[in-house]
Structure 1
């Protein structure tokens, strides 16, 4: 009976994993962009780049000049100074003298019934000059001067409401950074692939675009005010559809953030992100949950069977299981590397095979803790 269950778990895990890897994640890994030359004559619509910042003096000092290097004719930058106690306000005053298209609004306090970042974003969007809003964070840098043009194209040219992009992290040599690269790419494989399958369910606020008019029409964060997170993924989860959304896969449309340097900082950040996941629609929870369950069944079955056949010295059966594990490992490595090249323009070091195994404990342990945790403050 025990051997039957191991084969059963292993078989179910193999089948579902192959569906995710080849049918779903393959949409991103083997994505082919379509060039639309007919769109070139459309007049460029104005864009507002919006940044909500709390004590981000050092990052804004670098970000603002970088934003004004963008090759796009009609855009401005709105920085919401959210209760900063550092030199942010003075920096913005100095920068506005240098960059006429830079604007700012200062928040001195947050009302009791709302959470800080949602209030900051809502105020910034309300006073934005343009209807196309492109969001990023203060510690997040565009990787190319075509970022605005590429990220806003689906909204300006194709009539979409949401444009969902990728935001990665700076590459460093630490084990933590390699895990961050892996987990970030796995998350992108989920929301890019389902988005390409006309079933979008999340986006990241470090690189997200939508229309101000839609934001105001649906009363934006209605029903989400009490949650610390979810200003990006839950907003997309509620309102994005296969018809009104586009996934932007282009190395010129990405941004790069500063990664956490310690495991403690990283785990706090991830707990906040994973905590928002419990508010996803049921069908979207199942998209992630089914992959993680099959991932666990695969490894539990594989390890159990190899131990059993190793002890019983049934070499042929042992080699069959090992062969399946190796085939899956090859697919995982191939898909991650291919997706990274499509999205970022290069394969990022991420210890794919080791981290794929570590994910077994990461999702079930940290996911369970985060699911039960109370909201974790933004800043």
Structure 2
């Protein structure tokens, strides 16, 4: 029995080691591409519903981008605050701003994808760069950096959307750690040649590609997934690039409490079941293996009474922790995420069981729409 248990512990650690030293290092060993400036015309798209305060703060950062030719498509998704007035002011002031107003419709009630579709169809350029109303580009060269990766063969560019660092907040560290690890996964899988998702806070793709694949048609009734489900559908090894230069990041204000973050993650995680089978298998294996590790190895360390076996299991735990520190540390440095590496084991365990809770809760309570 002890030999079987030890073999299981070794297998679990080998799977973990494979993800961290092989899969995730496809991103960690990627260097920033030094391509010449691409001057392709770009349509920046922002969909907003009752985002007046955020628009006042963040629209100036979009307006003041240093890029030769771009338009700003502002989608008013049935807002009842000052959003419409703010959009109208910008449209009157700048000739490169276009406003698309969405009217209420019962069939698409509450569905952001309908609003985005109309905005995308209204865009005059083929290169689309999407972000959210609460996102701030890290520099005036955000469009330029993303556009540099959009070439004749690369019609999808995955960017990084960070969250603001709030000192002395454990929830904030959890949110930022989850964002970092998600990016490490989708950047790495894209580099391997099996891209599976992107984030709508910072995402570029071709309008032609969007229309060719009938846009959100396959999952239009799914309330979430305007970013990850679309990329899961249209991205492949040949047409996808990544952009992680610091100047190309966007930063958003994070949720401030557990309840609001839980609601947000319930919405995000609800789409994972619609991923392609290979993506579900690889992501599921990674998460399940993490769960097994923390359930099996510490218990085995206590259960076995052979000192040599205990030393082997302790060594396996050490391998896991050291490989995590190194790989997460490199990724955090590349993505400019400070103050997370030291807490990696604690954050990983808390995030794992938080995700497990969300998964179970979503399967018991399946809301028809998200607020």
> Structure 2 residue aligned with 1:244, among 239, 242, 250?
239
Cα distance change of structure 1 residues 182 and 194 upon mapping to structure 2, 3 Å threshold? same
Q: Deviations over 1:85-119 (max 9, x none)?
A: 11111111222233332221111213415652001
Counterpart residue number, 1:257: 252
> Structure 1 residue aligned with 2:60, among 45, 56, 65?
65
Length, aligned pairs only: 369
Is contact 1:337-1:347 (8 Å) kept? no
Counterpart residue number, 2:17: 18
**2:312 is equivalent to residue 317 of structure 1:** no
Is contact 2:174-2:351 (8 Å) kept? no
> Structure 2 residue aligned with 1:167, among 161, 178, 194?
161
Please give the residue correspondences for 1:226-375 in structure 2 after superposition, counting only pairs within 5 Å.
226-309=221-304, 312=305, 314-342=306-334, 344-349=335-340, 351-371=343-363, 373-375=365-367
Distance 1:377 1:147 in 2: 33
CA RMSD across the alignment: 1.8
Cα distance change of structure 1 residues 211 and 372 upon mapping to structure 2, 3 Å threshold? farther
Distance 2:147 2:363 in 1: 33
Distance 2:189 2:213 in 1: 24
Cα displacement (A) at 1:256: 0.9
Is contact 2:162-2:250 (8 Å) kept? yes
TM-score, normalised relative to structure 2:
0.94
Q: Deviations over 1:266-295 (max 9, x none)?
A: 001101100011111111101111111221
Cα distance change of structure 1 residues 172 and 250 upon mapping to structure 2, 3 Å threshold? same
Distance 2:33 2:206 in 1: 24
Q: Provide structure 1 residue ranges, at least 5 long, that are not aligned to the other structure.
A: none
Distance 2:262 2:249 in 1: 24
Q: Deviations over 1:192-220 (max 9, x none)?
A: 10000011011111111111122122210
Is contact 2:10-2:316 (8 Å) kept? no
Counterpart residue number, 1:209: 204
TM-score, normalised relative to structure 1:
0.92
Point out 4+ residue stretches in structure 1 off by more than 4 angstroms. Answer: none
**3-state SS in 1 of match to 2:81:** coil
Distance 1:186 1:104 in 2: 35
